[in-house]
Amino acid sequence: MTEGQNGDGWTVMSSFDGPGETRPEFEDMLRGEMERWEGEARRAGLDPAGHVRLSRVGTTALIAISPELEAAFTPAQTLWKAE
């Protein structure tokens, strides 16, 4: 498993340690971050619902993107040689 991946190929792009109780300002911040990644999915021609997800582990909120979305905005590695 590579850093930032959770074993199913999805990459965690944002991790937030939240409050112990529901706070509207924290939920608003999460919503804004989700909207940002959903916008990236749309620009890549992908359905946001299938390529961006929010999960919670205890008080930690994780926003992850699919391998397809990550590939859409991650440049391909190139081999080059300085002369």
37 has pLDDT over 60: yes
Confidence (pTM): 0.78
Q: Cβ contacts of residue 1 below 8 Å, gap of 6+?
A: 7
Helix, strand, coil shares of the chain as percentages rounded to 5?
A: 35, 25, 40
44 has pLDDT over 50: yes
pLDDT at 12: 96
Q: What is the pLDDT of residues 8-31, one digit of tens each?
A: 899 999 999 999 888 999 999 999
Cross-strand pairs, 62: 15, 55
Q: Where are the domains positioned within the chain?
A: 22-73
Whether residue 28 contacts residue 21, with contact meaning beta carbons closer than 8 Å, is answered with no
